Amino acid sequence: MSPAAQARKPGRPSKTADDPDRRTRILEIAVSQFGRSGIAGTSLSAIAREARVTPALMHYYFGNRESLIDAIVAEKMQPAMAGVVEAMKNAGNDLRSQVHCFVRTMIETIASRPWLPPLWTREVLSEGGMLRERLVGRFGAPLGQKMRDRFADAQSGGQLNHDLDPNLLFVTLIALTLFPLASQPIWRHHLGADDVTADTIANHALALLERGLEMPT
C-alpha cells in the first residue's frame, strides 16, 4: 500500500483529491521547502499554502508530517539513489568505467532535481538531519563500501595511485559531484560562471580524477 493510501482516512474523496498531478505538485513543493527551511522548520500548513490546497486535503494525502517524510523518501529520494545504484551495477568491472559512470550518473541525477542538493545538505549531511538514517544506511554506505573495496583492489594491482586512501576516495567522488551543484548559487554569482553546465562539471571532475588516480586510459 502506498504512503498516500496508508495516510487516508475513511470517507469518499473528492475528484479534486484524486488528482495525481496535485499530489505530485505537493511533493515537489514539500521537498523544495524542506531544502530551504529544513524539515523541522516547515509546517504542513506552509506547504498547503504554497500548493494552494486546504489543510484537509494535505491530511487526506499524507496524514501527518511523518507520513509526508515517508512519501518523500519512497517517491523522491529512493528512486534518485536507486538510479545511481542500478547504473553502477551495469558499469562493468573496469575501474575507469565505474568512476565515469558514477560521476556522470550522479551529476545527471542531481542536476535534474534542483531540490536534491539543499535537501541532502540539510537533512542528510547535517548532524541531526531527519533523512540521514533513512538513506545513508540503505544507499550511501553500501555503495561507498563497494567503491572503497574496488579502489583498494585496484591499488593492490598497481592500477591506482598508492598515495591515495581508498576510504576517502568515495568521499572525494561525492565532493566532486554533489558539492558543486549544492553550492552553485554562490559560485555562479561570485565567479560569473553562469555558462558552466552539468556536463562541464562532470568533465572537470573526471579530468581531476583521472590525473589524480593515475588510471590507465
pLDDT category of residue 12 using cuts at 50, 70 and 90: very low
What does the mean pLDDT of the chain come to?
A: 88
- What is the per-residue pLDDT for 216? 64
pTM equals 0.83
Rounded average pLDDT over 38-57: 94
Helices (H), the chain: 3-7, 20-37, 44-51, 55-62, 65-72, 78-89, 95-111, 116-120, 132-135, 141-156, 166-182, 184-191, 198-213
- What is the per-residue pLDDT for 16? 53
CATH of 3-67, one of 2.40.50.140, 3.90.1150.10, 1.10.10.60, 1.10.1740.10: 1.10.10.60
> CB within 8 A of 9, min separation 6: which ones?
59, 60, 63
Q: Which residue would you say has higher pLDDT here, 15 or 46?
A: 46
Q: What is the pLDDT of residues 172-197, one digit of tens each?
A: 999 999 999 999 999 999 999 999 99
Q: Where are the domains of the chain?
A: 3-67, 76-213
pLDDT category of residue 71 using cuts at 50, 70 and 90: very high
76-213: same fold as 3-67? no
Quote the CA–CA distance of 117 and 188 in Å, as a whole number.
15
User: 76-213 has which fold?
Assistant: Tetracycline Repressor; domain 2 (1.10.357)
